[in-house]
Amino acid sequence: MRYVLFLIAVSLAGAFGWHLYGESLESVNPEPKETDIDVSAVDVLRVVPQPIAERIELVGSLEPVTEVAIRSRLSGYLGRVPFDVGDRVEQGEIVVELDDAATRELVTRAAAAEQVAAAQLKAQVAREGQALREVTRLRELAVSGVSTTQQIEEAESVLIVSKAETELERARQAQAQADLERARLALDELQISTPISGYVAERNADIGDLSRAEDVLLRIVDLSSIRTVVNVVELDYGKIKIGETATVSVDGIPNRQFLGRIVQQAPILDPTTRTGRVMIDIENEDALLKPGMHGRVVITVSQLSQALAVPASAVYGPAGGQYLYTIDEASKTAVKQPVSVGFRDGDLVQVLTGLNENSLVVTLGGRLIKDGATVKFAGEPLVSEFSVDHNELSASTGE
């Protein structure tokens, strides 16, 4: 009986061990199961022909086209400075006056001396006339034998001297007039007027200060026109022409563009930076632009009315080996498409070859997929749109 029980126990143990062995084999070699296909979500853009422009974007500081430094030609103490920083002044207005008490006294003395010289000349002219009449009378008397030759000669000598004294008095009067004019000019120089209309940008003078000829008392700027100087790289320098327009914006005046015009272009490039200076004058009738502001300049050098363009972020690879991903709409798979690109317009780039109209281009998620990958759209496909503003083409996207 014990033997039978032993055999039964051995059989049960063997069966249990075989069961454990089978399960272990299944865990080591599991039966193949069907797996899900990995699908990537991407943003896509349907490309249609639209206007696009080649633009050069630059930066430069704004500066006045016209400004003047007010200096005095004479040394002296300041008597009046009627304008302060920010005040508007008109051409010809007196902006600085030096203390003129001493100069006014010189003008008064010179005027009096000129009057004395004029009176002396008038008296001498009368004496010359008297001498001339005396000579005439004696010559008439000589005909009847009443006057002698000696009397006539003496009268003629007096006339000659009188004429010489008249010329001397005329010279004295001319000298007095010159002295008076010089004194008046000195008085005028004590009153300094502005040769331009504009605003006082700098004031370095107060009443009672001693002014010297080399001192800048005021600086006046004309804000009706502002200039910016930009440095253009060698590659773009030849595309810019004098007379072309540009748009300028500043951070301090958002949502506003100002019209500028290229007025000067340096004939040489800096050999160190390989850039050339270009000057742009900007209309500033309302005086919103201020010298010293940071200007962002956009120059449109060429425009196309119909072109295929995509966001620059959709194009991958180095120059000569660039590509993008299009979508096969039937199979919803990505297609790696080699392309050649043209100029860039802001965040957009012109596609010259390799892209067809109405193609769906991956704009976001292209770095996470490969050629032939199955994709799904993160949203509805967008259509490229462009808008025109002040001869500038800016790109945006919308449904």
233 lies in the same domain as 317:
no
Over residues 322-331, the pLDDT tens digits come to 999 999 888 8
Q: How far is CA 273 from the centre of its chain?
A: 20
Over residues 106-127, the pLDDT tens digits come to 778 888 999 999 999 999 999 9
Residue 146 has pLDDT above 60, yes or no: yes
Q: Please indicate, yes or no, if residue 87 is contained in any of the structural domains.
A: yes
359 lies in the same domain as 324:
yes
In 234-332 the beta strands, taken as DSSP E runs, fall at: 245-250, 253-265, 275-283, 294-307, 309-311, 323-328
Q: Please indicate, yes or no, if residue 36 is contained in any of the structural domains.
A: no
Q: What is the pLDDT of residue 119?
A: 92
Cα–Cα distance for residue pair 199/218, rounded to 1 Å: 10
Q: What is the DSSP letter of 331?
A: T
Write down which residue in 189, 204, 238 finishes a domain: 189
290 lies in the same domain as 364:
no
Q: Please indicate, yes or no, if residue 26 is contained in any of the structural domains.
A: no
207 lies in the same domain as 243:
no
8-41 burial, b if ≥16 CB within 10 A, otherwise e? eeeeeeeeeeeeeeeeeeeeeeeeeeeeeeeebe
Cα–Cα distance for residue pair 155/143, rounded to 1 Å: 16
Write down which residue in 283, 302, 321 finishes a domain: 302
Band (388; pLDDT cuts 50, 70, 90): very low
Identify the CATH number of the domain in which residue 309 sits: 2.40.420.20
394 lies in the same domain as 310:
yes
pTM of the model: 0.58
Q: Which residues, in sequence order, are CB contacts of 363 under 8 Å at separation 6+?
A: 42, 43, 44, 45, 310, 311, 313, 314, 382
Write down which residue in 254, 275, 302 finishes a domain: 302
Q: Please indicate, yes or no, if residue 114 is contained in any of the structural domains.
A: yes
Length of the chain: 399
* Domain span including residue 335: 42-53+305-398
Q: What is the DSSP letter of 269?
A: -
Domain count across the chain: 4
89 lies in the same domain as 203:
yes
Tell me the Cα Rg of the chain: 49
Choose from 182-186, 200-204, 390-394 the range with maximum mean pLDDT. 200-204
144 lies in the same domain as 171:
yes
Q: What is the pLDDT of residue 123?
A: 92
Q: Please indicate, yes or no, if residue 21 is contained in any of the structural domains.
A: no
147 lies in the same domain as 274:
no
Q: Please indicate, yes or no, if residue 3 is contained in any of the structural domains.
A: no
120 lies in the same domain as 85:
no
Q: Please indicate, yes or no, if residue 196 is contained in any of the structural domains.
A: yes
Would you say 335 and 37 are in contact if contact means Cβ atoms under 8 Å apart?
Answer: no
Q: Please indicate, yes or no, if residue 250 is contained in any of the structural domains.
A: yes
104 lies in the same domain as 181:
yes
Identify the CATH number of the domain in which residue 82 sits: 2.40.50.100
Q: What is the pLDDT of residue 213?
A: 79
